[in-house]
Structure 1
Amino acid sequence: MRAGIALDLTPPVPASSGEPSPPHDREITAEIIASLLLQPPPPEPGVVSHLHIIGATITGKLQLAYATVEIPVTMVDCHFAEPAELSDASLRTLNLTGCLLPGLNADRLKVEGDLVLRRTTSGTVSLFRADIAGDMWLTEADLTAAGTAHALQAPQLHVGGGLYARSVTATGGLNLWGAQAFTLDVSASRLSNPTHAALRCDGLRLAQDLLCTRASVDSGGVSLFGATIGGQCWFNDADIHSTTGWAINAPSVGVGGGVYGRGMTAQGGVNLFAATIGESLELAGCTLTAHHNHALRAPGARIEGNLQLHNGATVTGDISLPRADVRATLLLSGSAFTGSTIDLNHATVGALDMTSLNTLPSVLDLRAATIGRINDSAASRPPRIELDGLTYQDLRPVLPAHQRLAWLDRGDSYNPLPHERLAAYYRQLGHDNDARAVQLARHRKRRSHLRPLARLWGHLEDLTVGYGYRPGRAFVSLFALTAAVAIVFAARPPQANRIGGPGFQPVAFALDLVLPILDLGQEQSFIPSSETAWVAWTGAIAGWLLATTIIAGLTRRLSRSGH
C-alpha cells in the first residue's frame, strides 16, 4: 500500500503434485481494510498511497458510513461475506471490478472520480442521491434484488460523466428515477421486474444519448415519464415486454435528437403522450403489441422530423395521434395492421404516406386534421375513413374524380365538407369537370338523407339539370317536353276560341304551355279538346317544375362559381 503495489491473493494455479492455497490464507477482515482506509500509513517517497487488493475474501462487514477516504480504493475479484456499508461516505475513487457482494449500501455516497462495478455480482446496490463526479461503470454486472425491489436503487443519482451499464443482468431492474448523467448506456442488458418498471427513468436528465440497443426487458417495461434526453434515444433491436403496463411509458419525454427503434419489439405498446422529439421517430420493422388497445399512443406529441412506421412494421392495436404535430412525413407504407385504428384527429402532418400497406387498419380517422400532402392508393384505403374537417394541399397520385369519390364514400355519415374540399382541390388544379363531378356526388349523397318529398325533388333536379352542374340537361328536358306536347296537338289540334285569331302553330302552342314566362298568343287563342286537356295541364305543370328546377340549379351553380 505504501509502495503503491497491489496485494494479489488470487490462488495460484495448482501444481501437478499440490493443491491451491486454502481460502483462509486469502482472508482479510473488514476491520483491517477500514483501518487502512481511515488512517492510511504514510507513502514511500514519490508514491501515491493506493489500496489495491486482488482475489481476497473479506470477512465481516465493511463499515465506512460517513467516512472520508483520501486514497483511491481498488478491490478486484474479491469476495465480501457481508454487504458493504458506504452510506454518506466520501471517496476519491472506488473500483470493485469482478467482486462478489451480498449487497452494497451507498446512499448519498460521494466519489470524486469514477465508481467502477464492472463484472460485479451483487445483491441490491443502493445509491440514493449518490454523487459520482466521474463515470459510473456497471458493464457486465449481475445484480439481483430480493422480492420485487429494484436491483439498482439509484433515484436522484448524479453522475458527472456517463453511466455505462452495457450487458448488465439486473433481476429486479434499475431504478434511476430523477437521476442525472452525461449519457446512459444499457445496451445488450437483460432487465426484469414483475411489478414495476424494469428500467425506471422517470425524470431522468441526460446531456446526451440514452442507449438501449439490443436491450432485453423480460417484464416490467421501460418508464421515461418526464425524462429529458439531450441527444438521441436508441432502442434498435430491443426486446421489451411488460405484463403490467406499457412496454415503453414515456409521457412528456423531451428528446433533443431522434428516437430510433428499428427492429424493436414492444409487447405492451409505446406511450409518448405529449412527447417532444427534436428529430425523427423511426420505428421501421418494429413489432408493436397493444396495451389497453393502443400500440402507439402519442396525443399532443411534437415530432420535428419524420414518424416512420414502415418497412415491415407489424402493429397490433391502435395508432393514436390526436392533436399530434409531425412536421415532416408520417410514413406507414409496407406495414401490417391488425385490429387497428389510425387516429389523426386534429393532428398536423407535413405528409401522410400510405401508398402500400401489407394489412389494412380498420379505421383511418382524419377528422379536422391538417395534412400538407396525402400519398395513397385504392388498395391502401381502410374500410372506414373519417374525413370531416380534413384540410390538405395536395393528393398524390392525381386521380380522376370517380376514383377519388370512392375515398369519400367510406365515412359513417354525410358531411358536405370533404366533398367541398375535394372540389376546391380540383378547381385549384384547373380540373373543372372533376370539380363539378364531386359537387354532383355531394348532392346525390345528401339526397339519401332527406325526407321523401325532398328526396323526390332532388331526383327531379338531378334528372333535369344535374343540380346545376349538368346544364346541358336543361335544354334536353325542355326540348323533349316541348316536342312531346307539340306532337300531341299537331295530331289533335285545339279549337279556336275566337274568330279572327292567329292560325294554330303546334310548336308555338307547346312553347306557350311549357314556358310560363313566354306568351306567343297561342294559349289564349285555342282551347284543347277534352281528350287532350290533360296533356295541356301536364305540360304546363311540368314546365313550371322544370323552370323552377332550372332556376334553382343555375342559381346554385352561379353561387358556387362566385366562391
Structure 2
Amino acid sequence: MAIRAILLSKDSLDPRGIRLQGARVTGQLDLTDVRSAVPLKLEKCRFDEPVVLERAQLSTVSLRGSHLSGLQADGLHVDGDLSLKGLRATGTDQESVVRLRGAHITGRLWMEGVVINNATGSAFFADDLKVDGTAFLDRLQATCDSKHGAVQLIGARIAGQLVMTNCRLTNYGGPALHADALRVENMTGMDDLRAIGEGESGAVRLSEAHITGQLSLSQAKLYNSSGPAFQADGLRVNALVSLDGLKATGHHEDGAVRLMHASISGQLNLLGAVLVSDRGPGLAGDGLRVGGSTVIGGLQAEGAGEDGAVRLSGAHLSGKLSTRGSEKAVRLTNKGNGPALRADRLRVDSDVILASVTATGRGELGTLHLPGAHIAGDLTVGGSATNDSGGRIFLDLRHAHVHSQLSLFDQTFWREAFSKQETERPQLLLNGLTYRTPPTASGADIWLEALQKCMPHYSPQPYRQLAESYRNVGAEEQAKKILIAQQEAFHATLHRRRDKAWHRTSDLTVRYGYRPGRALWLLLLLLLAACGVMTIWAEPHGLLVHPGDGSHCGFIETIGEAVTRTLPLLRFAAYGGCKLTDSGGAQAVYAVMLILQALSWALLTLFVAGFTGIIRKPSS
C-alpha cells in the first residue's frame, strides 16, 4: 500500500523513481490504474501475494530476480522497458500466473531465465501484447496444465525481434506455445527450444502468424502425445525459415509438422530434421509457398497413412527442392498404408534433386507419388524406393511435366528391379509424363527396358515421349528403335488372330513402318525368285518360247519376262517377244508368277505406306 501511495502522492518524486531490492512484501502490491512517470524497480524481492499492475501506466518497470505467486498486468502500459529477468513465479491461478494481456511496452521486454509454474492454468498469458522493441524470452521455463498455451501470444505485436532460444515449455493440457496471428517485424529465434504440448492445437502453434524477418527453430525438440508438434498453417515469413536439426514428434492425423498453405519468401531449410508421426505425415505442406530453395538434406521423416511421410500436394516452390547439404541420406518412411512422398500437383520453378533418398511406402498410391507435378528444371531421383505391401508401385509420375532432364535412379537399381520375378517387380506409372531431353543416368536401353518390364499396363505415350526426347537431340535412329519396341509391346495386347497376323506382317516387311527399306530388299528377293523360275525352270524346259517359230528365248529376254510379270510397272523393251506355252508346266509357271506379282504389289504398298508414315498413323 505504501508503494501505491507514494506513486499517487502529489508530492514530487525522485526522478530516479522507487527502488527496492531484496525485500519481502507481505501484503499485496496493487497498482491498478496507477499513473506514474518515474521508474519502478523491485528487484530480488519476495512477494507473498500476486502483484497487480492492471491498466497501470508506468515508466520503466523491473521485477528482476523477484519471487512471486502471480503477476496480473492486463492492459499495463510501460513507457520504457519491462524487465522480468530471472523472475520466479509459482501459483495456482486458473487463468495464468503471469498475465500481460493487451499490455503495451514501448521499450523492450526482458524475460530471460524466467521460471513460471502453474498447476491449474496457463503460465504466461499475453494475448494482444504489444512490444515496440525486442522481446527477450530466451531460457524461459514455463510449466502448466491448461487448455491455453503455457506461453500464449495470440495476436501479439512485436516491432523488434522475438528471442526464445533455449526455452523449456511444458503444458500437460494444451499447447506449449500458442501464438496464432502473432506478428513480429524482425527475426524470431527459437533455436534449441524444448516444447511439450498436448492436444490437437499442437505443441508449438503459429497459425496465421506473420514474421517479417527470419524464423529459426534449429535444433529444437517438440513433442505432442495427442496432436501435431508444430502447427503453422497459414504462417507468413518474409525471409528464411530454418528447421535444421528440428526433432518433432506428433501423434495425430494432422501430422508432426504442419505448414499447410504457409508462405515463405526466403529459403526453407530442413537439414537433418527428424519429423515423426504415428498417425499422419511427418511433414504436411499442402499449398505451401516457398520463394527460395527448399533444402532437405539428411531429413528423416516418418509418417503413417495415405497422406504420406512427407506431403506437398499443390505446393509451389520457386527455388530448388534439394536433398543436398548433408552427408546423411534422406529417409522417408510410411509405416501405415500410403506413400513416402505425396506431392501431386507440386510445382517447382527450378530443379528437383532427390539424390541419396531411401523411400519406403506401402499401398497402391506408390512410394513416390507425384502425379501432375510441374518441374521447370531437372528431375533427379537416386537411392532406393520400395513398396513394402499392398502394391508394387514405387514411382507415380502420371501427367507430370519436366521441362529439362529426367534422371531416375542408376543402372544398379534398375538391374536389381529387372532381375525380380514379374509378380514381384516394382512398377512405374508414367502415362502422360513429358520431358524435353533423354533420361540420363540409366541410359536409353535401361529406360526402354523399364518401360517394357515395369509398367503395369501397356501405354503408347511413355514410349513416344522417350522417342521424342531423342528426336529433340537429333538421335533419330534411337527414336525409331524405341518406337519399334513400342509396337512390339503393343503386339502382346492383341487378341484377334487377324490383327496379330497383320501386325506381324508389318513387322516382318517394314518393321512397323520405321524400316520401309526392308520391303525393297524383300522385293528384290522376289525378283530374284522370279528370274530363277524363268531361267531355271521355264526356259530350259521349253515352257517359254518365241510365239512365231517356237524357238528358245535368250537369257536377257527371259530375265525381262520375269521382271515384267513380277512388276508390271517395269516393262522391258523385250517384253512380248517371249510367251509361255499352253502346256501344264507352263500354266504352273504362270500361277507362280501371279503369286509373286501379288506379293510384289503388297511389298510396294507397304513400302509406300511406311515411307509416308501412313502405317504409323493409328494411336496404338
TM-score range relative to shorter protein: 0.7 to 0.9
Distance 2:49 2:88 in 1: 14
Q: Would the alpha carbon gap of residues 333 and 401 (structure 1) be closer, same or farther in structure 2, given more than 3 Å must change?
A: closer
Contact in 1 for aligned 2:520/2:603 (Cα 8 Å): no
Q: Which residue pairs with 1:393 in the alignment? A: 436
Q: Which residue pairs with 1:253 in the alignment? A: 262
Distance 2:515 2:458 in 1: 23
- 1:10-29 matches, within 5 Å, as 26-29=23-26
- 1:392-411 matches, within 5 Å, as 392-395=435-438, 397=440, 401-409=444-452, 410-411=454-455
Q: What amino acid is the match of 2:320?
A: N
Distance 2:438 2:84 in 1: 62
Of 309, 313, 335 in structure 1, the residue corresponding to residue 323 of structure 2 is 309
Of 486, 490, 494 in structure 2, the residue corresponding to residue 450 of structure 1 is 494
- 1:305-454 matches, within 5 Å, as 305-310=319-324, 311=326, 312-316=329-333, 317-339=339-361, 341-354=367-380, 356-359=382-385, 362-376=394-408, 377-379=410-412, 383-395=426-438, 397=440, 401-409=444-452, 410-452=454-496, 453-454=498-499
Q: Would the alpha carbon gap of residues 168 and 546 (structure 1) be closer, same or farther in structure 2, given more than 3 Å must change?
A: same
- Please tell me whether residue 174 in structure 1 is matched to residue 172 in structure 2: no
Q: Which residue pairs with 1:221 in the alignment? A: 229
Distance 1:451 1:282 in 2: 50
Contact in 2 for aligned 1:76/1:98 (Cα 8 Å): yes
TM-score normalized by the length of structure 2: 0.77
Distance 1:400 1:335 in 2: 20
Of 61, 70, 75 in structure 1, the residue corresponding to residue 58 of structure 2 is 70
Contact in 1 for aligned 2:515/2:610 (Cα 8 Å): no
- Please tell me whether residue 238 in structure 1 is matched to residue 243 in structure 2: no
Instruction: String of CA shifts for 1:63-121, please: whole Å, max 9, x gaps.
Output: 332x223232211222223x322222323332222222221233212222222222222
Q: Which residue pairs with 1:12 in the alignment? A: none
Q: Which residue pairs with 1:95 in the alignment? A: 83
Secondary structure of 1:332's partner? strand
Q: Which residue pairs with 2:210 in the alignment? A: 205
Contact in 1 for aligned 2:35/2:58 (Cα 8 Å): no
Q: What amino acid is the match of 2:40?
A: L
Contact in 2 for aligned 1:171/1:191 (Cα 8 Å): yes
- Please tell me whether residue 59 in structure 1 is matched to residue 48 in structure 2: yes
**Count of matched residue positions in the alignment of Structure 1 and Structure 2:** 534
- Please tell me whether residue 185 in structure 1 is matched to residue 185 in structure 2: no
Any gaps of 5 or more consecutive residues in structure 2?
A: 4-13, 92-96, 334-338, 388-393, 418-425
- Please tell me whether residue 109 in structure 1 is matched to residue 103 in structure 2: yes
Q: What amino acid is the match of 1:351?
A: G
Contact in 1 for aligned 2:240/2:267 (Cα 8 Å): yes
Q: Would the alpha carbon gap of residues 431 and 170 (structure 1) be closer, same or farther in structure 2, given more than 3 Å must change?
A: same
Contact in 2 for aligned 1:344/1:369 (Cα 8 Å): no
Secondary structure of 1:465's partner? helix
Instruction: String of CA shifts for 1:190-244, please: whole Å, max 9, x gaps.
Output: 1122313111111001110111000001223112211110111010111011111
Any gaps of 5 or more consecutive residues in structure 1?
A: 10-25, 41-47
Secondary structure of 2:511's partner? helix
Contact in 2 for aligned 1:305/1:326 (Cα 8 Å): yes
What is the RMSD computed on CA atoms of the aligned residues?
A: 3.2
**Which stretches of structure 1, 4 residues or more, deviate above 6 A after TM superposition?**
530-534, 557-560
301-310 or 255-264, larger mean C-alpha shift? 301-310
Distance 2:567 2:149 in 1: 91
Distance 1:366 1:384 in 2: 13
Of 305, 310, 313 in structure 2, the residue corresponding to residue 299 of structure 1 is 313
Q: CA deviation at 1:487?
A: 4.0
Q: Which residue pairs with 2:423 in the alignment? A: none
258-267 or 285-294, larger mean C-alpha shift? 285-294
Q: Which residue pairs with 1:548 in the alignment? A: 605
Identity %: 19
Distance 1:447 1:256 in 2: 52
Q: CA deviation at 1:550?
A: 2.5
Q: Would the alpha carbon gap of residues 39 and 370 (structure 1) be closer, same or farther in structure 2, given more than 3 Å must change?
A: closer
- Please tell me whether residue 118 in structure 1 is matched to residue 163 in structure 2: no
545-554 or 241-250, larger mean C-alpha shift? 545-554
Q: Which residue pairs with 2:8 in the alignment? A: none
Q: What amino acid is the match of 2:198?
A: P
Q: Would the alpha carbon gap of residues 521 and 296 (structure 1) be closer, same or farther in structure 2, given more than 3 Å must change?
A: farther
